Amino acid sequence: MENIPQRTVERFFRYTQFLHSRLEAGAEHVFSRELAAAVNISPEQVRRDLMNFALKGTPQKGYPIREFLAELYQHLESSSLTKMVLIGVGNLGKAILTYFIRRRPNLSIVAAFDADPERCNRVYSGCQIYPVERLAEIVAKEGATVGIITVPAAGAQQAADALSRAGVKAIVNFAPAQLKLPGDVFLEQLDITLSIDKAAYFAKKTALKERTT
């Protein structure tokens, strides 16, 4: 397996996003300049990326989208199923469970966990909710490799520790907390409140500037 850097992986996933939206809109071909404009990446970078693919385009029609996607997925090795678990079935956890149901054939949330007994032992959006004590057992049984944390900040480190001990290889953390993880566990931090705080700060700044000029 090649070593693709994190930024390239991100760029490739953005390409797939855009190509899927073009397919849904009925397009069969795409020009590299369209792709560059859509994902905010320089046309030079797109062309450099394309040189790695065995993809033939024409100046009239551009590149065939389905073949382009097949190449991208081959590089991203997304053809095999990745099993994920989610901890914390509050509003955000439920939104994520609902989103992933059947939308992504190769990404599946196979189990959800919650510390609150009232939320457990039922099915939400097709996903069984277990008491958090059963995490290690279910992760091992299912072979889950990704953990999604949607618990409040105070419980996030504990959830992360349980996930690492259970053997997941990557964690997506939505809790507004900085996690300490073993070096071999990939961490993706998605801090919704931090992003909204930042937006509010810069909005205030722009509004103030407009008032004073």
Interface residues toward a copy of itself, by CB under 8 A: 1, 6, 9-10, 13-14, 17-18, 21, 24, 38-40, 76-78, 80, 82, 84, 90-92, 94-96, 98-99, 104, 107, 145-146, 148, 153-154, 168-172, 176-178, 184, 186, 188, 190, 192-209
- Phi, psi of 42, deg, nearest 5: -65, 145
Q: Is 7 or 56 the residue whose CB approaches a copy of itself more closely?
A: 7
Q: Is 85 or 132 the residue whose CB approaches a copy of itself more closely?
A: 85
- Cα–Cα distance between 173 and 12 in angstroms, integer? 22
> Least distance in Å: CB of 127 to a copy of itself?
13
Q: Is 29 or 169 the residue whose CB approaches a copy of itself more closely?
A: 169
For every residue of 150-190, DSSP letters joined together read -S-GGGHHHHHHHHHHHT-SEEEE-SSSPPP--TTSEEEE-
Q: Is 50 or 92 the residue whose CB approaches a copy of itself more closely?
A: 92
| Residue whose C-alpha is closest to residue 158's, from 142, 147, 143, 146 | 147
Measured at the CA of 6, the angle between CA 75 and CA 110, to 5 degrees, comes to 70
> Least distance in Å: CB of 54 to a copy of itself?
21
> Least distance in Å: CB of 125 to a copy of itself?
9
- Cα–Cα distance between 167 and 138 in angstroms, integer? 11
Task: Kindly report the number of other CB atoms within 10 A of residue 206's CB atom.
Answer: 10
- Cα–Cα distance between 147 and 165 in angstroms, integer? 11
Q: Is 165 or 205 the residue whose CB approaches a copy of itself more closely?
A: 205
> Least distance in Å: CB of 56 to a copy of itself?
26
**Given 3-state DSSP classes, what are the helix, strand and coil percentages for the chain, each rounded to the nearest 5?**
50, 20, 30
Counting other chains too, the contacts that 116-119 makes at CB distance below 8 Å and 24 or more residues apart are 119/89
> Least distance in Å: CB of 90 to a copy of itself?
8
Q: Is 132 or 148 the residue whose CB approaches a copy of itself more closely?
A: 148
- Cα–Cα distance between 143 and 110 in angstroms, integer? 10
